[in-house]
C-alpha cells in the first residue's frame, strides 16, 4: 500500500462519494473512513465498498483528542481529507455551540495530531481541508467569490467553517504543515440528508407535503453535482499547489424558486402526475435568520490550473438525483425516524 489516507466524515453525503472514488480508483492506497455516525452519518451510503480490501471504517469523534492521537499513532496517516463537520445552517442557528465544537475544535485536534505525528518530516504528506463558499458571506446581485475574496461569514455554521480554515492556514504558516483548502458551492446528488433543500423537497413532493420556501424564494445558490465535487477533490489532493486554496463551483446559479419549479416539473413527469401538480405544494414560510442572498463561485483557478470542470448539466444532475431517490425509498424511510420527525416539527411547525 503506497499511502494511508484518513478521510473524515466519510459516512456523510459528500464524504461517502469521496470515499467511494478513492477506494475504487486507488487500489494501492489504504483508505480509512473516520466518522462519528451522527444523525447525518449513514453506513448504508457505503455498502458497495465496505468489503473492499483497501477500506477500513473507524467509528470515532474528531473532538476526542485521546482517540484521535491513538489512531494517528497506530495507522500513521500520510494524508488527511477532512470533511467531518456539522453542515446544516438551520441547525447552526438553533445549536451554535455544537458547530464550534465539531468544526473548530475537531479540526484543531486533527491538525495537532497530524503535526505531532510527522514532526517536520513532511515529504509526501498532506492535510486537505474541505470547506465551503459560505465563509465569504453573501454577494449582492453581481460579482463572484474568488480565492482572494475576504472572509465575511454570517451564520454560526459559516463562522465555524471560516474559523477552521484560518486554523489550517495558521498551522501551515506556524508549523509548516503542508495543506490545501477548497471552498465549494452547494452540492446535490444521491445520499444527501433530507434536511437540505433538494432532498427535503423531493421527499415532500413524493409524500404530497408542502414545500417550505424561505422568505420570497429569491435567494441564489450555485449548484454542483456531488460526483463533480468528488472529482475536484481528487485533483486538488493529487495536483493542487501546496498551501493553496481552490474555489469549486458549478457555474450554475439558480434562484431558489426557479430551481424548485424545475424540480416540481421533473417530479411531475417522473411520478406521472399532471403538469403543475407539485408546484401547488409550494408554501412561503418565515425566512431563515441571517439568510445570505447569493453565492456564486468563480471556479476559473481550478479550471485553468488543474483542468477541472463539471461533467453534467444541472438538468441532467437533477434528473439523476431524483431517479436515485425514487429508486432508494428504503434509504429515505430508514432516515425518517423519530429524531428526524422531531427536527422537522421544530424547524417547520
Ligand atoms: P454531512 O452532514 O452530510 O456529513 C457530515 C459527516 O460528518 C457525517 O457522516 C457525520 O456523521 C460526520 N461527523 C459529524 N460530526 C463528527 C464528529 N465530531 N466526528 C466525526 N465525524 C463527524 O455533510 P456534507 O454535506 O457531506 O459536507 C461534508 C463537508 O463538506 C463539510 O465539511 C461541509 O462543510 C463541506 N461542504 C458541504 C457542502 C454541501 O453543499 N453539502 C458544500 C461545500 C462544502
Ligand atoms: O454553499 C455551500 C453550503 O451549501 C454548504 O457549506 C452547506 O453545508 C450546505 O448545507 C449548503 O448550505 P445552504 O444553506 O445554501 O443549503 P440549504 O439546502 O439548507 O438551502 C439552500 C437554499 O434553500 C437556501 O437559500 C435556503 C433555502 N431553503 C432551504 C430549506 C432547507 C428553503 O427555502 N427552504 C428549506 O426548507
DSSP 121-147: --TT-EEEEEEEGGGG--B-SS--B-T
* 26-50 residue pLDDT tens: 999 999 999 999 999 999 999 999 9
57 beta partners: 33
CB contact at 8 A, 182 and 233: yes
- Looking at the CA of 18, which ligand is closest? 1
- Determine the distance separating the centroid of ligand 2 and the alpha carbon of 89, expressed in angstroms: 7
- The yes-or-no answer on residue 157 being catalytic is yes
Those residues whose C-beta lies under 8 Å from the C-beta of residue 141, and which sit 6 or more positions away, are: 294
The C-alpha atoms of residue 88 and residue 83 are separated, in whole angstroms, by 13
Q: What is the pLDDT of residue 95?
A: 98
Q: What is the pLDDT of residue 337?
A: 86
Instruction: Report DSSP letters for 43-70, one per residue.
Output: GGGGTTTTT-TTEEEEE--TT-HHHHHH
The domains of the chain, with CATH numbers, are: 3-192+221-254+292-313 (3.40.50.720)
- pLDDT for residue 138 is more than 90: yes
- Looking at the CA of 344, which ligand is closest? 2
Pocket test for ligand 1, best of 10, 43, 85 (most atoms within 8 A of CB): 85
Ligand 1 atom showing the smallest separation from residue 133 Cα? 43
Neighbours of 113 (CB within 10 A): 22
- Residue 133 binned pLDDT confidence (cut-offs 50, 70, 90): very high
Backbone angles phi, psi at 234, to 5 degrees: -60, -50
Our answer on whether the CB atom of 100 is closer than 6 Å to any ligand 1 atom is no
Q: Atom 17 (ligand 1): residue with closest C-alpha? A: 61
- Residue 349 binned pLDDT confidence (cut-offs 50, 70, 90): confident
What is the residue-averaged pLDDT of the chain?
97
- pLDDT for residue 1 is more than 80: no
* 278-316 residue pLDDT tens: 999 999 999 999 999 999 999 999 999 999 999 999 999
The predicted model gives 258-265 an average pLDDT of 98
| 171 grid coordinates | 498551522
- The yes-or-no answer on residue 134 being catalytic is yes
Our answer on whether the CB atom of 227 is closer than 6 Å to any ligand 2 atom is no
Our answer on whether the CB atom of 106 is closer than 6 Å to any ligand 1 atom is yes
| Percent of the chain predicted with pLDDT > 90 | 98
Q: Atom 23 (ligand 2): residue with closest C-alpha? A: 197
Q: Classify residue 175 as exposed, middle or buried by CB count within 10 Å of its CB (0-12, 13-18, 19+).
A: middle
Task: Name the 3-class secondary structure at 80.
Answer: strand
- pLDDT for residue 242 is more than 90: yes
Those residues whose C-beta lies under 8 Å from the C-beta of residue 180, and which sit 6 or more positions away, are: 126, 127, 128, 129, 236, 237, 240, 241, 242, 243, 244, 245, 246
Our answer on whether the CB atom of 212 is closer than 6 Å to any ligand 2 atom is yes
The predicted model gives 324-336 an average pLDDT of 96
Our answer on whether the CB atom of 219 is closer than 6 Å to any ligand 2 atom is yes
Helix (H) or strand (E) holding 182: strand 179-184
Amino acid at each position: 500500500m503506497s499511502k494511508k489516507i484518513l478521510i473524515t466524515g466519510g459516512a456523510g453525503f459528500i464524504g461517502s462519494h469521496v470515499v467511494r472514488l478513492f477506494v475504487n480508483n486507488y487500489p494501492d492506497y489504504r483508505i480509512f473512513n473516520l466518522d462519528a455516525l451522527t444523525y447525518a452519518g449513514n453506513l448504508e451510503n457505503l455498502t458497495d465498498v465496505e468489503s473492499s480490501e483497501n477500506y477500513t471504517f473507524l467509528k470515532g469523534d474528531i473532538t476526542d483528542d485521546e482517540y484521535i492521537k491513538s489512531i494517528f499513532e497506530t495507522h500513521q496517516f500520510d494524508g488527511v481529507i477532512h470533511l467531518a463537520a456539522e453542515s446544516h445552517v438551520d441547525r447552526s442557528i438553533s445549536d451554535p455551540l455544537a458547530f464550534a465544537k465539531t468544526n473548530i475544535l475537531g479540526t484543531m485536534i486533527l491538525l495537532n495530531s497530524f503535526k505531532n505525528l510527522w514532526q517536520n518530516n513532511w515529504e509526501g504528506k498532506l492535510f486537505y481541508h474541505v470547506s465551503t463558499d459560505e465563509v465569504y458571506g453573501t454577494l449582492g446581485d453581481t460579482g463572484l467569490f474568488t480565492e482572494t475574496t475576504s472572509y465575511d461569514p454570517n451564520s454560526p455554521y459559516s463562522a465555524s467553517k471560516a474559523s477552521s480554515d484560518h486554523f489550517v492556514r495558521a498551522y501551515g504558516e506556524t508549523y509548516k504543515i503542508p495543506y490545501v483548502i477548497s471552498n465549494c458551492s452547494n452540492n446535490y446528488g444521491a445520499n444527501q440528508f433530507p434536511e437540505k433543500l433538494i432532498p427535503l423537497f423531493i421527499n415532500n413532493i413524493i409524500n404530497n407535503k408542502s414545500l417550505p420556501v424561505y422568505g420570497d424564494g429569491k435567494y441564489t445558490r450555485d449548484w454542483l453535482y456531488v460526483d463533480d465535487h468528488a472529482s475536484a477533490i481528487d485533483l486538488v489532493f493529487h495536483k493542487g499547489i501546496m498551501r493553496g486554496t481552490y474555489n469549486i463551483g458549478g457555474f450554475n446559479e439558480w434562484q431558489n424558486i426557479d430551481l424548485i419549479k424545475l424540480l416540481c416539473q421533473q417530479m411531475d413527469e417522473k411520478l406521472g402526475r399532471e403538469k403543475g401538480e407539485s408546484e401547488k405544494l409550494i408554501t412561503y414560510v418565515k425566512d431563515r435568520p441571517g439568510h445570505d442572498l447569493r453565492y456564486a463561485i468563480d471556479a476559473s483557478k481550478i479550471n485553468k490550473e488543474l483542468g477541472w470542470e463539471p461533467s453534467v448539466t444541472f438538468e441532467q444532475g437533477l434528473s439523476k438525483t431524483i431517479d436515485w431517490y425514487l429508486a432508494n425509498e428504503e434509504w429515505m424511510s430508514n432516515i425518517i425516524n423519530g429524531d428526524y420527525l422531531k427536527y422537522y416539527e421544530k424547524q417547520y411547525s
